Amino acid sequence: MACELWREKLDAYVDGELPREDEQAFREHFKSCDNCAADALDRVQMKRSIQAAAMRYRPDPALRARVRSSIAAPSSTKRTWRWAPSFAFAAACVVLIAALWTSHFRRYTREQQLVSELVDLHVATLASASPVDVVSTDRHTVKPWFEGKLPFTFDLPELQGSPFTLIGGRTSYLNQSPGAELIFRIRQHNISAFIFQESAIEQNCRLASASDFNFHLESWSRNGLCYFVVGDVNAEDLGKLAALLKG
Amino acid sequence: MAVAESRVASESFEDLALPLFDRLYNFAHWLTQNREEAEDLVQETYAKALKGFSSYQQGTNFRAWMYRILRNSFLNSRAGLKAMPIGEEGNEASESSLPVTPHTPETILLGRLDQELVHKALDELPVIYREVLLLCEFEEMSYQEISAALGVPIGTVMSRLSRARSALRDIVKRLQKE
């Protein structure tokens, strides 16, 4: 097949829209045609450039709150005026208990999901060939490294005299929002401290102390930022690091 | 029973729709190029979608449905009418008059492009091309999903994408020379 005919299908190829056998045929063609291979590479790079550039605008948290309340309102309003006069007290109690349980269960599920995501991020970091992007035990080196990479800033504690060592840091993402991940070490254990903007969390970030697959987590919020410390150390050590970070 | 169903539907809508919020806003801002108009557009989209949620067919593509509502709201807005006058949308004759630049090795731009450059190029791109590129590259929608979101046949999605990419390349090349 002439290159012109291959090129007609190149967009569909890089968009992953071709049948498997056509993809295979393309890969075979690339082995013998440098021009088509370079063309495909160029299109992939263009796709990546657009992907990276396209998340440009972030909504105001107040807008999110407005929309959330506007779409949540109809159910609660209808429930109030239509249920109340129709049922006996006992039935209302059953409904109330069910509603509370559902609400609690949904909140619990969301919290559990957040815990699992943070544990996944922590494990992925430790499994990475280069766990940190800035390698330094000096907080005066690590903190400035984040300047220009995050839309917020934060303080790092003085660790001298504590059992913790700062290993370094990297940028991390939660719900497509950037945040800081700082790696600390105590004995042979690594702990990740994540810092994200509250708007990135989409729920209350003050979680109850949680554990997931033997990983422990503590969280708190301050000045519009959510802090999470995650690690496989015991809850007491995790609490000590949290206390240092809280200042 | 009706109340219970309404409650379930409303909860499901919130669960389905809120995770799309950030990306819908980003898309709305790219379309309108204006923060206030993007905010109005997103609010209008959620209000319309909630109202029409009972007509949404469970099991079909909810994301494409939301984007379609947002886009239709945009087309009916002042900014939309200005950016994409009535008659231009879906007018394949006027689109096909725009040439598809042959993609030769000479036009190839090696290396990742600077983000600022891509922002400028996307800003300059006509809305009809900007939206299809964003849905494909950023939202990573399939041609089928884009077809549902834009309400045009898959063939149109493909030709529009091809022209959008050519047009973006031309703009990038010009900006690189400037």
Q: Look up the pTM and report it.
A: 0.53
Chain A residues within an 8 Å CB radius of B6: 74-75, 78
Whether B109 and B57 share a structural domain? no
Cα radius of gyration (chain B):
18
Whether B119 and B134 share a structural domain? yes
Whether B113 and B77 share a structural domain? no
Whether B2 and B79 share a structural domain? yes
Whether B94 and B79 share a structural domain? no
Pairwise CB contact (< 8 Å): A45 & B110: yes
**Domain final residue, candidates B67, B83, B99:** B83
pLDDT per residue of chain A (247 residues) written in tens, 0 to 9: 678 788 888 899 999 999 988 888 888 888 888 888 888 888 888 888 888 888 889 999 999 999 998 887 544 444 444 444 554 555 565 666 666 555 555 555 667 777 877 887 887 777 766 778 888 888 888 888 888 888 888 888 888 888 999 988 988 887 777 889 999 999 888 899 999 988 877 677 777 666 655 678 888 988 889 999 998 888 888 889 999 998 8
**Domain final residue, candidates B83, B105, B139:** B83
Q: Residue B164: how many CB atoms within 10 A of its CB?
A: 23
Whether B123 and B63 share a structural domain? no
Pairwise CB contact (< 8 Å): B10 & A60: no
Contact of A75 with chain B, judged by CB distance below 8 Å, is answered with: yes
Distance CA A18, CA A14 (A): 9
Distance CA B13, CA A75 (A): 11
CATH of residue B65's domain is 1.10.1740.10
Here the tokens at position A88 are 């006996």
Per-residue three-class SS string for chain A? CCHHHHHHCHHHHHCCCCCHHHHHHHHHHHHHCHHHHHHHHHHHHHHHHHHHHHCCCCCCHHHHHHHHHHHHHHHHHHHHHHHCCCCCHHHHHHHHHHHHHHHHHHHHHHHHHHHHHHHHHHHHHHHCCCCCCEECCCHHHHHHHCCCCCCCCCCCCCCCCCCCEEEEEEEEEECCEEEEEEEEEECCEEEEEEEEEHHHHCCCCCCCCEEECCEEEEEEEECCEEEEEEECCCHHHHHHHHHHHHC
**Domain final residue, candidates B64, B83, B102:** B83
- Containing structural domain, residue B27: 1-83
Here the tokens at position A216 are 């422990």
- Hey, what domains does chain A have and what are their CATH numbers? 116-246 (3.30.200.100)
Whether B35 and B101 share a structural domain? no
Pairwise CB contact (< 8 Å): A78 & B3: yes
Whether B21 and B76 share a structural domain? yes
Best CA proximity match to B99, nearest among B48, B45, B18, B169: B169
Number of structural domains chain B divides into: 2
CATH of residue B132's domain is 1.10.10.10
Best CA proximity match to B98, nearest among B43, B165, B144: B165
Tokens 């509502």 label which residue?
Answer: B69
Pairwise CB contact (< 8 Å): B108 & A38: yes
Whether B74 and B100 share a structural domain? no
